[in-house]
Copies of this chain bind each other. A is one copy, B any other.
């Protein structure tokens, strides 16, 4: 199973430690296509060609069996990817960490077609990831059997 993990890179306050925890956890269930996108410094990442990033990410998104998006920090790219994943009918889980004085995006939280977990404990988010991916892995196994 291939999983596209989406999270803020150039946008607001990415939580790198948490992203790595999530990526390691998702890796138990399948290949995280974007796992190397989150290890760069701002300077390294900013040196990449934008068209190359866009084309690589869109290709990964197309081939993904599932999408996990971390939506605690604002990000144009993550919002764009969620809409594309919805358009292409990808199973999609959104994770939002409760923050004082903040609210999740109305365009995501108000869309009944999207599943968003609002969490305070990281353990609850990991359990939601487990509950989301485990049945998909079963389905993907069935569909590739002869």
Residues of A within 8 A of B (CB): 8-12, 42, 46, 48-55, 57, 71, 73-84, 87, 101-112
5 A–B pairs (Cβ distance < 8 Å), ordered by A: A11-B74, A12-B74, A77-B106, A82-B83, A87-B87
In the bound complex, do residue A107 and residue B57 qualify as a contact, i.e. CB atoms below 8 Å apart? Answer: yes
Cα–Cα, bound, A110→B101 (Å): 33
Q: Count identical subunits in the complex.
A: 2
B77 touching A75 by the CB < 8 A rule?
no
If A87-B83, A87-B87 touch, whether A106 touches B11 (CB-CB below 8 Å) is: no
Of all chain B residues, which has the CB nearest A43? B101
| CB neighbours of A104 from chain B (8 A) | 10, 50
| Apart from A54-B109, A76-B108: 7 A-B pairs, beta carbons within 8 A | A9-B106, A11-B12, A12-B12, A54-B110, A57-B107, A71-B76, A77-B106
